[in-house]
């Protein structure tokens, strides 16, 4: 169960996305590799939304929501991000699947809520696209 307030203070829960393939991306506004991958994530989000893929971010170690919101605006990110200034949400995952020290990190969660892919470090659209296609095919 992963839930919390997004960058605007609205409640967001991962279980509300059940039935969709979900890309869960952990990022911080202070993180250089996060900036490098952001535009690819936005592009893949927009290209795959009609196929039933949803994106959810976890903004971590940004004590101030303003810095995170500025990052979101600068990159045109449309998907919600949970605000996790202390990393508490990250600690709910087994470290082998989501190392709280490896930022950025990305998980792909299948339609049944199982973690299908775990990526430590920045991911490109060229890497993520085929992984999403495979998870979509498996879930059909």
Please tell me the distance from the alpha carbon of residue 16 to that of residue 61, in angstroms, as a whole number. Answer: 24
pLDDT of residue 1: 80
Q: Residue 18 pLDDT more than 80?
A: yes
Mean pLDDT rounded to a whole number for the chain: 95
CA–chain centroid gap for 131, Å, is 15
Please give the C-alpha separations between residue 97 and each of 19, 29, 114, 115, in angstroms, as whole numbers. Answer: 21, 22, 12, 8
Instruction: Read off the DSSP letter of residue 1.
Output: -
Cis ω before 75 (30° cut-off from 0): no
**pLDDT digit string, tens, across residues 29-62:** 999 999 999 999 999 999 999 999 999 999 999 9
Residue range 95-100: mean pLDDT, rounded: 89
Domain boundaries, the chain: 3-139
Query: What percent of the chain is predicted at pLDDT more than 90?
Result: 92
Please tell me the distance from the alpha carbon of residue 71 to that of residue 2, in angstroms, as a whole number. Answer: 23
pLDDT of residue 140: 60
Architecture of domain 3-139: 3-Layer(aba) Sandwich (3.40)
């Amino acid at each position: 169960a992963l839930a919390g307030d997004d960058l605007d203070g609205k409640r967001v829960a991962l279980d509300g996305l059940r039935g969709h393939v979900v890309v869960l991306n952990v990022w911080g506004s202070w993180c250089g590799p996060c900036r490098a991958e952001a535009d690819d994530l936005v592009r893949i989000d927009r290209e795959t939304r009609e196929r039933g893929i949803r994106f959810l971010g976890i903004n971590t170690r940004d004590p101030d929501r303003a810095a995170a919101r500025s990052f979101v605006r600068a990159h045109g990110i449309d998907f919600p991000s949970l605000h996790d200034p202390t990393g508490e949400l990250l600690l709910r995952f087994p470290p082998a699947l989501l190392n709280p020290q490896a930022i950025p990190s990305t998980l792909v969660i299948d339609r049944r809520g199982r973690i299908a892919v775990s990526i430590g470090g920045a991911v490109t659209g060229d890497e993520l696209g085929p992984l999403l296609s495979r998870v979509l095919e498996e879930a059909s």
